[in-house]
Amino acid sequence: MTTAQRLKPKPRQLVISMPYPGEVISVNHYRGRNRYGSEFVRGEAQAWMDALGWQLKLHHIEDWQLPLNVTCSGIFSDLNHAPDLSNLSKCTLDAIEAVTGVNDRDMRWHDGDMKIDPDYTPEMEITIEEAE
């Protein structure tokens, strides 16, 4: 192992647990259109995005090495109410972009593990890692 390899810092990582609010944060449901045709983010989805943003704000991930790797895992009560994790990417990445200013084209989405357990309240785990 060279000196440069030993001195290279380990990539930073942040793990955030968020309640899963249901389909309101799905790519197919988190936005709507008003009667004039303007697009908007639905209230429940915006509240979830804001909550995620407040947890990110303290970590200054906008200063991390890009691209950011974003992995979403979750525990859900049953298969009928478990989402396709890929459908959560747009809302999640938009929330990260809104707080950090990092464009979502500089983020790489990864589906993580999905667990089914009727004894747990549905929850998501979002892991953000900087590039090596």
Residue range 102-117, pLDDT digits in tens: 999 999 999 999 999 9
pLDDT score, position 9: 81
CATH number, domain 12-129: 3.30.1330.70
Angle CA 47–118–110, to nearest 5: 55
How far is it, in rounded angstroms, from Cα 26 to Cα 44?
11
pLDDT score, position 126: 98
How far is it, in rounded angstroms, from Cα 106 to Cα 125?
20
Q: Which residues of the chain have pLDDT under 50?
A: none
